[in-house]
Amino acid sequence: MECIHLSENVKITAPPMKDENPPCQFHCSVCKTSKSPWLCLTCGAVHCGRYVNAHAKLHYEERQKHSVCMDCDSYAAFCYACDEFVINDTDSGDLDKLRKHLRSVAKFHTVKNRRRDSLDSTENEGKKKKIKTDTGAKAIKPRTSGLRNLGNTCFMNAVLQSLSNIQQFCGYIKQLPSLEKKKPRANVTRYRNGRDDDILLVEELRKTLIQLWQGNKSAISPESLFSVIWKVVPRFRGYQQQDAHEFMRYLLDRLHTELLTLLPYPNPSSPYIGPKGKSTIVTAIFGGLLQNEVNCLICGTDSKKHDPFLDLSLDIPDCKEGLVNLSECLSHFTEVEELEESELYNCGTCKRKQRSTKQFWIRRLPNVLCLHIKRFRWSSHYRVKLETLVNFPIHGLDMNEYVLNNMHETRNSCSGSNLYDLAAVVVHHGSGAGSGHYTAYAYHDSRWYHFNDSNVSVCEEETVAKCKAYILFYVRRELKLPDFLVNIGSNGEETTKEDQ
């Protein structure tokens, strides 16, 4: 947001130094922790963030004109008076000066530490030719970084980590050329950051995914992406907990809209297409097609409608044991259901609204099947969470039973292309719909990883299987990728498969 308190509160462009050398690590002046250090831009004091011991917030409450601070790790500026992150700067560019100074501090100590490590390695060469633990096992370092929590942004972090481990989607976004100066071919709202540069959501996502997979930091801060999301989707502004599924849908829909105006590819066979038969990486990977059948109970007339989808939202069937299988949720989704009195079908044959039934079938499956387990439902005047454990397969989810044959509209008897393997899971922890915490599990390089904001750790497959899934991402064993999935050259030109 455009903060109005900068000129009054920002007094420093460099942190105070205790000696000639800059500090290698910032610590809270109260509790001494190095976790989430925030620098007061009025007096230069360092305190911990609100998700540690909240001494930075306490510092502001005791000194009302010390409202603006900066994260010493991500260099994001935050105003406690506005209770939002800051995207503008002072007239003299004080925030930018401070960021450059902090980056130079970090670079100085990175080089210093590398030299020290190199010397230590040389001195110990020959002494440590082969290191073994008592069990012979080696520590496994994740190749991807964590994502810092910017204030109840775990919903975003869990979704981003899941999408980053969908190989076909992430790989394509990462290899896109910079879109900062790309001109859209149709009208699409573009937004400006504090430097008055045009900015697109897809461009910020591209940068974030590249940073994630560089693996040179234990955690990165997605504040640039989050600030763009605030502008693109105002409902996600602020720091209250948001719904991960809603965020994922807004994110994918926005990416699809932007890419249609920037890099549209003709693909009439895509199951989920945009205007004039255009498709994008979003629809090519996540797009499927439903068949909605409505039957008039008076005259028996059938009406069929085809609806594109990017994910399927599945109800949890009622059960006494507190345990259901994913197959039961899918069967419930495709069951015949009689419409309520308020949803009477306007029958074309009877020429009036009549009692009717409806049924969904999957007419065409996507390359990545995204299943949303509807854990939250309204009860009286508030939402409650269903804690039912849904058993889901890690390998070999068979979707044949729920798919119509495209030629004869009968159930497919067998098809290897309808088998799916789990790639990622988003989990909601806690009992409240508007609270709790989101984490994600994802499969990469033959191992499962747990993504909990800044922390990334290896976990066992059994741990994943026991989690209370909220969003499941399944990848098709036999992918059916369209020809427009191309390699992007260093010059930014698009090269088709035929050209390669």
The set of catalytic residues is 154, 437
Which tokens is 36 given?
Answer: 């989430």
Side chain identity, residue 194 = G
CB 313 within 8 A of CB 243: no
List 293's β-bridge partners, or say none: 304, 359
**Alpha-carbon separation of residue 457 from 84, 141, 425, 428 (angstroms):** 30, 8, 15, 18
**Alpha-carbon separation of residue 424 from 168, 321, 339, 443 (angstroms):** 13, 26, 34, 6
CB 184 within 8 A of CB 474: no
Kindly state the DSSP code that residue 474 receives in the 8-state scheme: E
Run of H or E residues at 446: none
**Alpha-carbon separation of residue 338 from 60, 134, 230, 344 (angstroms):** 58, 64, 40, 9
Helix (H, G, I), strand (E, B) or coil at 379: strand
Q: Is 441 exposed, middle or buried (0-12, 13-18, 19+ CB in 10 A)?
A: buried
List 41's β-bridge partners, or say none: none
Contacts of 53 (CB under 8 A, 6+ apart): 28, 30, 31, 33
List 390's β-bridge partners, or say none: 324
CB 469 within 8 A of CB 440: no
Which tokens is 83 given?
Answer: 């209770």
Question: Rounded distance, CA 372 to CA 285, Å?
Answer: 16
- If you write DSSP's letter for every residue of 98-158 in order, what string do you get? HHHHHHHHHHHHHHHHHHHHHHHHHHTTTT-SS---TT---PPPPSS-EE--SSS-HHHHH
